[in-house]
Structures are given as C-alpha cells and as structure tokens.
Structure 1
C-alpha cells in the first residue's frame, strides 16, 4: 500500500553489491591486514634473534614458526570478517568497522612495543605491551560482538583471533614477570 515502508530480509541492493566493488574492497582489506602483519613482523624479526632469543619464555611458548602460520590464517580471517560486515548496509556497520580499526591499530602497536622497545626500556616495555594486548583483547571482544550482530559468520571468524590474543597475552605476562 502507498505510504507503507517495505522491509527486506537481506542486504539492500546498493553499489556495494557490484562484483568489481566487492572484489576490490576484499583485496583492500586483505592488503590492510597483511600490511599490519608485515609491519609487526619487522619488529619481531629485528629482535627475535637478539634479546628475545635469550629471554625467559613461558614453558607453553610454541616454536617460532607456529606464530607466523597462525597469524597468516588470523589476518586472512580478520579481513574476510571485516569484508562480510562491510557488505551489510546497516546502521551498525560504521561503529563495528570503527572498533575494527581501533583493534587493528592496537595490534599494530603491540609487536614494536614488546620486541622493539625492550632493548631501550627493559621490562617496562613488556608491561606496556601487556597493557596494549589487554586493550587489544577488549577491543577484539567488542569487535566480535559487533560483527556477530551484523553477520554471524563474521563474528565466528574472529573467535580464533580472540583466543590467540588471550594466549599471546599469557605469554606476554610471563615474559614481563620473568625478565
């Protein structure tokens, strides 16, 4: 009837649904994730054979190659999750993507703080890194919730990420307390 609002059950048909736009945004989000990964890796590689090689590490610390493998999968899942949320034309999308951006910045800040600042600041850098990773865990938790409210698959894709962050926080806490 005239004057009635129509409700749709799926995403609205918008320019966001064009295939070329979908692919370019997905590739952009993958590039963003891998750039954050690359920048973090630079701080790690620059110090992994230095102070960290002789540092007191948690007994549950996995071999170094595990970190690169896990992070590759996680950064890919993060990009796909953010793309799934971006695809939804929802009032909640902007807020969810803003929190996603905040957690990406916290993620980017952690490795240079933990690995790069230790030679200068000593254990204070490890405690600062622990505060960063705790804030990251909180931001990722909020991202999981917000993403999940918009797209269930996107929220689920981030669950391994929050699990890995909590695990990494335990490694950071051990290092801060024992070095």
Structure 2
C-alpha cells in the first residue's frame, strides 16, 4: 500500500490544535461548562468531538487538494493556504479562550474572526479546486451553530469582571 504522505499530513494537521485544546481544557468541560446555562439547541457534549473530527479531516484534505492543484506554497495556492493557516490558528485559540480563560465574550469576538477566515478560505479554495471549497460548507455551518451557542452562553452567564471583584471587595 502506498501512503500519500502530503495528504495524510494535511488531514492530521488541523487535529493537532484540536487535541491540544481538548487536553488543556478537559477539566473545565466537566466542571465550569457543565454548570453554565445553555440554550435548548445545545448539542450533546459527546457530539462535539465527532463533529470536529469530521470537520478537521475535511478541511485538512481540502488544504491538500489546494496545495496539490495550486502549485504548492510557491504557486497560486500560497494566499489561500496562508488564509487557511490563519484560520487554523484562530480556531485553535478559541478553546483556550472559552474553556481555559472562561472569557465567553472574547471567545465570541474570536469565533467571528474564525468564521470570517473560514468563509474567505472556502472561497479562495473554491477558485483552485471547487470540491476543496465545498468541504468548507459543513465547517461554516457548524461555526454558525457554535457562534449562536457562544452568544447565548455569554448572554445568559455573566462573566465576573475585575470591576465586580473590586466592587465586592469595597463592600
């Protein structure tokens, strides 16, 4: 059996940040997140890993197709792959912001940047390989749900701010 190592590496790459984020924030999922008020449309906790695995694999393979069909990092794929790299970095940062730092408002701003770069990546990928662009549709749809979820959690669970802590200490 011949392994296409560039394709395998491209598929695995997005998972790296996902695994790291999951490991770093696992304890807060079982404690802090579990205690939050969440909207009725919240998917079951077990589904997040399944969905993200599929999304990460799809966008990873899309990046391989663009790299392959767009002349690699020196060809027309250069800009789309740079935007994709930005999207991955933003994506990987969301979990530590939301679960690690428990900054739901900051995470909301950040997820909007993730969505914008995901849309841009999908459009740029489409121009090189339409299937690669289509592989971003489930990702963008899931980001829509995740953004709505993040928004409702932020609105329904006020964060403790330094002002509130100072106010409590002054009393």
The TM-score with structure 1 as length reference comes to 0.82
Corresponding residue number in structure 2 for 1:149: 127
1:87 counterpart = 2:71 = no
1:127 counterpart = 2:105 = yes
Instruction: Tell me, in whole angstroms, the C-alpha distance in 2 between the residues paired with 1:130 and 1:70.
Output: 20
Do the aligned residues in 1 keep the contact of 2:108 with 2:150 (CA within 8 Å)? yes
Runs of 4+ in 1 over 3 A off after TM superposition: none
Matched length: 153
Deviation at 1:30, TM superposition (A): 2.1
> 33-42 vs 109-118, which deviates more?
33-42
What's the Cα RMSD here?
1.3
* Aligned pair partner of 2:40 in 46, 51, 59: 59
SS at match of 1:59: coil
Which runs of 5 or more residues in structure 2 are unaligned? 158-171
Instruction: Tell me, in whole angstroms, the C-alpha distance in 1 between the residues paired with 2:98 and 2:35.
Output: 15
* Aligned pair partner of 1:108 in 92, 95, 98: 92
Deviation at 1:115, TM superposition (A): 0.4
Which runs of 5 or more residues in structure 1 are unaligned? 1-18, 119-124
